[in-house]
Amino acid sequence: MSPAPSGSERSHRAWAETLHAEWTKLRTLASTGWLMAGAVALTVTVSAAAVAAAAVAPGLDPAKLSLTGIQAGQAVVAILAVLAISNEYSTGMIRVTLAAMPRRHTLLAAKAALVGGLALAAGAVAVLASVLAGRLILPGRGFTLANGYQLLSLGNGPDLRAACGSVLYLALIALLSLGVATAVRDSAVATGTVLALLYLFPIVAAVVSNQHWQRHLEQIGPMTAGLYIQATVGVRALPLTPWQGLGVLALWAAGALILGGLVLRFRDA
Amino acid sequence: MTTFTRYRSPVQDGRDGFPQLLHAEWTKFRTVRGWIIGMIVAILVTAGIGVFLVAASGNVSCANESSTGSGQVRHGAAACGEPALLLGPGGEPVTDSFYFVRQPLAGNGSITVRVTSLTDPLPSANGSRQEGDSQPGLVSWSKAGIIIKQDLMQGSAYAAMMVTAGNGVRMQWNYTGDRPGLSGAVAAASPRWLRLTRDGDTITGYDSADGAHWTQVGAVQLAGLPSAVQAGLFATSPQFIEMSTSFGSGTISHSNTEATAVFDHVSRSGAWPASTWTGGAEGTAPGGAAPGGYHQAGGQFTVTGSGDIAPAIPGPGNSGVGHQPIGFFLAGTVAGLIAVLVVATMFMTAEYRRGLIRTTLAVSPRRGRVLAAKAIVIGAAAFVTGLAAAACTVIVATEMAHVHGYSMFPVPWPTELRLIAGTAALVAVAAAFTLAVGTMVRRSAAAVMTAIVTIVVPFFLAFTAAVPAFAGEWLLRITPAAAFALQQSTPQYPQVQASYTPGLGDGFFPLAPWAGFAVLCGWAALALAAAACLLRRRDA
């Protein structure tokens, strides 16, 4: 007779099983693969188009420029994360899921881990391809040593920070989206909310004429602050340091996940 | 024997005309509380952002001027403390600064000059360009010539004949008027003769290459011109704007330029009471430019001036800096639009999710008509929402600006009307487009994302200068986001060099307002046609 498993062992096994179950759900959805491919394709296309249209100008940041596509590709990553939970609500699957896994926080944590992991994977591919595109195309657009630009290289500290930071950025966007979707449940509303949160701050910041407010909007916007991580030129002039900026996005993601967790815990599915 | 009477329902048969279908779809729309809330949220968010923008604009502080976000230089040094708006005779904001060598003209008369040279080197303090450097088009609108001006008040009526550095001879009047004359640059070998004749309110401009054969360039009426006016020689040259954009930030650098023109064969006829010329800089030259001057030797005048006589252009890089037109305060439209797009998507995808589509199609088997009815209902609802949002924003923002003492860049009322109606039309057609996308992909999240990625993201990329200006302009030509051109408040003047980009808060679009709207309509028509086709072909 085997000894009864201890409390911590039980919870460890429950975690592993939840993770496995959630992974099976995500893995077997056709949309997951398509969305990941779409995120990579959109990111790389926009990045390549941006570098191909670039012209040398003072203050232009080649690393940032070659990662422009993140700003479009993040929309697809957000959908991937939104669907991970809102699909369950739209099909009624959530009731089965919660019956099988009554620990709701564990469920959300498992989803967060998987969605974040998928975003990291898609982000790594997209960022590598974007940096490669920048490395290949930019010298032809005049970004040469003669004009004071080094070749984009992941061996270069700031460039590496921009690239790795962009991958982390996508993972945090996925977590933010998962949190929002858990809170509002409906996929269309969640998608609209997340994308409005992302794109509204920079648009309003672009028109507000008051420098003070502009700075504040950029500091608190999840996208504007998070993308400070891509800066390699004029880093000192930024309202926040790159890692602080990513920290602001992490706070947004944490806030959304906590809100989602509370709604999941206290509201009937 | 039993007789059977077939049962007939006492209820009359419902008719299945298109009005009934519309009514049914309208009932579906208005009875879902969440959708109505979504539309109200759209109005509130749009107006709320407008209110925030006015509140934030009211107190431009000079302290933060130099330390700007993302390395941005948004305002020139002259921008500090919001220069007052100068209005021209038509009520439009103008810039009016030049060097004027003048005499009063008391009644009718004419003035004729020959221009032999126009050069526009940057002042030597700025080392980026040297004298004689002939980069074409740098300040192609530096100008010099003769002018008849109502008085020495800035913004008063005028008519002028001038040579320009890159645009040949022009006749310009009252800031916005511009008509081309002889083409080609002026040089000692190819001088230009200019003449202005005043007859009452009418001023006629002539040009000539040889002083013998004259061509009339234009005749303009300056209503209410007093008997005594100021007339003479002028020279002015606008700031050279160099702009670079990258990823949410941009740099605008202004360099002052000076135009120096050489005149001779100055002749006058008519009522000129004075005998000597008076030189003076009119208006304030842009940030730190030298006021200019003139030098007379024999019959030859050398006049140097800096500034511009032209309509003011809003935007941080331009002459109307610090005053934003009402269109800027509609920036919240994007947020309202997202809310409307979510509702428009669900108006279709909810049918699939709940299986209601099967009932809908059983009741009305002509599927194209179902789609048309849905498009009309959601389009109308979105139009009303957009109209309410834009009207509220314009009214509240104008009122608040008034209360806060913030002077907006004025726009004529037809433009204001176009901004409101255009915003409503933009939201309506975008909603129909989204409905079509929803019909095609059937899934809420995918449909909302597709709509936002095609409408909002291109606008975002161009508007925040996230992509280079060139790419941004193409995005605003070919994607559905082109329709945001409806929100451009002020026209682009070909005779004014300015930063006319969509990004950096300038608010200019590459397409004309209704042309941009036509692009969105084209996309919507295409999407609706594809959706109708798929709806017929596929099982529900």
Residue of A35, A210, A211, A248 for testing the chain B interface, max B β-carbons within 10 Å: A211
State whether B248 and A224 contact (CB < 8 Å): yes
pLDDT at residue B134 greater than cutoff 50 = no
| Residue B394: band (very low, low, confident or very high) from pLDDT cuts 50, 70, 90 | very high
pLDDT at residue B129 greater than cutoff 80 = no
State whether B331 and A204 contact (CB < 8 Å): yes
- B-chain CB neighbours of A205 within 8 Å are 69, 464
pLDDT tens column, B468-512: 777 888 889 999 999 999 988 888 888 887 777 776 667 788 888
Whole-angstrom distance, CA of residue B537 vs CA of residue A143: 51
* Average pLDDT estimate for A153-160: 83
Query: Which has the closest alpha carbon to B500: B476, B469, B478?
Result: B469
Query: Which has the closest alpha carbon to B293: B283, B279, B307?
Result: B279
* Average pLDDT estimate for B107-124: 80
pLDDT tens column, B194-205: 999 999 889 999
pLDDT tens column, A106-144: 899 999 999 999 999 999 999 999 999 988 888 888 777
B335 touches chain A (CB under 8 A): yes
* Average pLDDT estimate for B116-138: 52
- In chain B, the residue whose alpha carbon lies closest to the alpha carbon of A191 is B445
Q: What is the DSSP string of A31-89?
A: HHHHHHHHHHHHHHHHHHHHHHT----TT--HHHHHTTTHHHHHHHHHHHHHHHHHHHH
Whole-angstrom distance, CA of residue B420 vs CA of residue B401: 18
The confidence score (pLDDT) of residue A234 equals 79
pLDDT tens column, A161-202: 999 999 999 999 999 999 999 999 999 999 999 999 999 998
Amino acid identity at A89: Y
pLDDT at residue B70 greater than cutoff 50 = no
Interface of B with A in 245-264 (CB under 8 A): 245-251
Interface of B with A in 493-522 (CB under 8 A): 503-505, 507
State whether A188 and B507 contact (CB < 8 Å): no
- B-chain CB neighbours of A208 within 8 Å are 52-53, 56-57
The confidence score (pLDDT) of residue B289 equals 61
- The residue with tokens 């990329």 is B461
State whether A59 and B468 contact (CB < 8 Å): no
State whether B456 and A199 contact (CB < 8 Å): yes
* Average pLDDT estimate for B233-262: 70
- B-chain CB neighbours of A192 within 8 Å are 338-339, 341-342, 448, 452
Q: Strand, coil or helix: what is B149? A: strand
Least confident of A68-77, B248-257, B411-420: B248-257
Q: Is A244 exposed, middle or buried (0-12, 13-18, 19+ CB in 10 A)?
A: middle
pLDDT tens column, A54-63: 777 766 788 8
B232 touches chain A (CB under 8 A): no
- B-chain CB neighbours of A49 within 8 Å are 467, 471
Higher pLDDT, B15 or B435: B435
Give the CA radius of gyration of chain A. Answer: 20
Whole-angstrom distance, CA of residue B2 vs CA of residue B429: 62
B481 touches chain A (CB under 8 A): no
Of A58, A189, A213, the CB nearest to B342: A189
Query: Which has the closest alpha carbon to B194: B310, B308, B108, B116?
Result: B116
Q: In sequence order, which residues have a C-beta less than 8 Å from that of residue A175 and are 6 or more positions away? A: A81, A112, A115, A116, A253, A254, A256, A257
Q: Strand, coil or helix: what is A238? A: coil
Of B244, B353, B466, the CB nearest to A71: B466
The confidence score (pLDDT) of residue A257 equals 95
The confidence score (pLDDT) of residue A181 equals 95
pLDDT at residue B33 greater than cutoff 60 = yes
Of A186, A204, A230, the CB nearest to B49: A204
Highest mean pLDDT of the ranges B23-37, B86-100, B158-172, B294-308: B23-37
pLDDT tens column, A62-102: 888 899 999 989 999 999 999 999 989 988 889 998 888 88
Residue of B61, B242, B338 for testing the chain A interface, max A β-carbons within 10 Å: B338
pLDDT at residue B448 greater than cutoff 60 = yes
Fold classification of B94-311 is: Jelly Rolls (2.60.120)
Q: What is the DSSP string of B100-129?
A: EEEEEEESSEEEEEEEEEEE-PPPTTSTTS
pLDDT at residue B127 greater than cutoff 60 = no
Question: Rounded to an integer, what is the distance from CA A225 to the centroid of its chain?
Answer: 13
Of B61, B341, B464, the CB nearest to A192: B341
| Residue B97: band (very low, low, confident or very high) from pLDDT cuts 50, 70, 90 | confident
* Average pLDDT estimate for B235-263: 69
Q: Are B99 and B236 in contact (CB under 8 A)?
A: yes
* Structural domain spans, chain A: 14-266
| Residue B77: band (very low, low, confident or very high) from pLDDT cuts 50, 70, 90 | very low
**Mean of the per-residue pLDDT values for chain B?**
83
Q: Are A170 and A183 in contact (CB under 8 A)?
A: no
